[in-house]
Amino acid sequence: MTSFSFDKLVIFGVGLIGGSLARALRERAGAARVGRIVGVSRSRASAERARELGVVDEVAALDDDGELRAALAGADLVLLAAPVAQTLPLLRRIAQFLGTDTIVTDAGSTKSDVVAAARAALAERAAQFVPGHPIAGRESSGVEAALPDLYVGRNVVLCPLPENRAQDVARIEALWRVTGAIVSTMTHEQHDRVFASVSHLPHLLSFALVECILNAPDAALKFSFAAGGFRDFTRIAASSPEMWRDVCLANRHALVDELDCYVTVLARLRAAIVAEDGAALEAVFARSREARTQWQERGGQAAAPAGLAPK
x/- track of binding to a second copy for residues 150-189 (CB under 8 A)? -----x-x--------------------------x-x---
Least distance from a second copy to the Cβ atom of residue 247, Å: 10
**Does 89 contact a second copy by CB under 8 A?**
no
**Contact (Cβ atoms closer than 8 angstroms) between residue 7 and residue 36:** yes
**Contact (Cβ atoms closer than 8 angstroms) between residue 24 and residue 179:** yes
Q: How far, in Å, CA of 239 to CA of 200, rounded?
A: 12
**Does 269 contact a second copy by CB under 8 A?**
yes
Q: What is the DSSP string of 191-257?
A: HHHHHIIIIIHHHHHHHHHHHHHHTSTTHHHHHHT--HHHHHHTGGGGS-HHHHHHHHHHTHHHHHH
Q: Which is nearer to a second copy, 168 or 192 (CB)?
A: 192
Q: Which is nearer to a second copy, 86 or 128 (CB)?
A: 86
Distances (CA, A) of 283 to 223, 265, 273, 295: 30, 13, 13, 18
Interface of this chain with a second copy, residues 102 to 161, rule: CB under 8 A = 135, 137, 155, 157
- Three-class SS state of 107: coil
End-to-end CA distance of the chain: 9
**Does 299 contact a second copy by CB under 8 A?**
no
Choose the stretch contacting a second copy; rule: CB under 8 A; options: 37-45, 66-74, 114-122, 205-213: 205-213
Interface of this chain with a second copy, residues 11 to 30, rule: CB under 8 A = none
**DSSP bridge pairs for 36:** 8
Interface of this chain with a second copy, residues 277 to 296, rule: CB under 8 A = 278, 281-282, 284-289, 291-293, 295-296
**Contact (Cβ atoms closer than 8 angstroms) between residue 24 and residue 176:** no
**Number of amino acids touching a second copy (CB under 8 A):** 95
Choose the stretch contacting a second copy; rule: CB under 8 A; options: 45-53, 118-126, 145-153, 274-282: 274-282
Choose the stretch contacting a second copy; rule: CB under 8 A; options: 43-51, 67-75, 116-124, 273-281: 273-281
Q: Which is nearer to a second copy, 45 or 209 (CB)?
A: 209
Figure out which of the listed residues 28, 164, 239, 311 binds a second copy, where binding follows CB under 8 A. 239
Q: Between the CA atoms of 238, 243, 247 and 249, what dihedral angle is there, to the nearest 10 degrees?
A: 110
Q: How far, in Å, CA of 19 to CA of 81, rounded?
A: 9
Least distance from a second copy to the Cβ atom of residue 43, Å: 24
Q: Which is nearer to a second copy, 41 or 184 (CB)?
A: 184
| Sheet of 155-158, strand order | 132-134, 155-158, 182-185
Least distance from a second copy to the Cβ atom of residue 80, Å: 21
Q: Which is nearer to a second copy, 64 or 242 (CB)?
A: 242
x/- track of binding to a second copy for residues 209-228 (CB under 8 A)? xxxxxxxx-x-xxxxxxxxx
Least distance from a second copy to the Cβ atom of residue 183, Å: 12
Least distance from a second copy to the Cβ atom of residue 121, Å: 20
Least distance from a second copy to the Cβ atom of residue 42, Å: 21
Q: Which is nearer to a second copy, 120 or 295 (CB)?
A: 295
- Three-class SS state of 279: helix
Q: Find, among 10, 128, 143, 135, the residue nearest to 68 by Cα.
A: 10
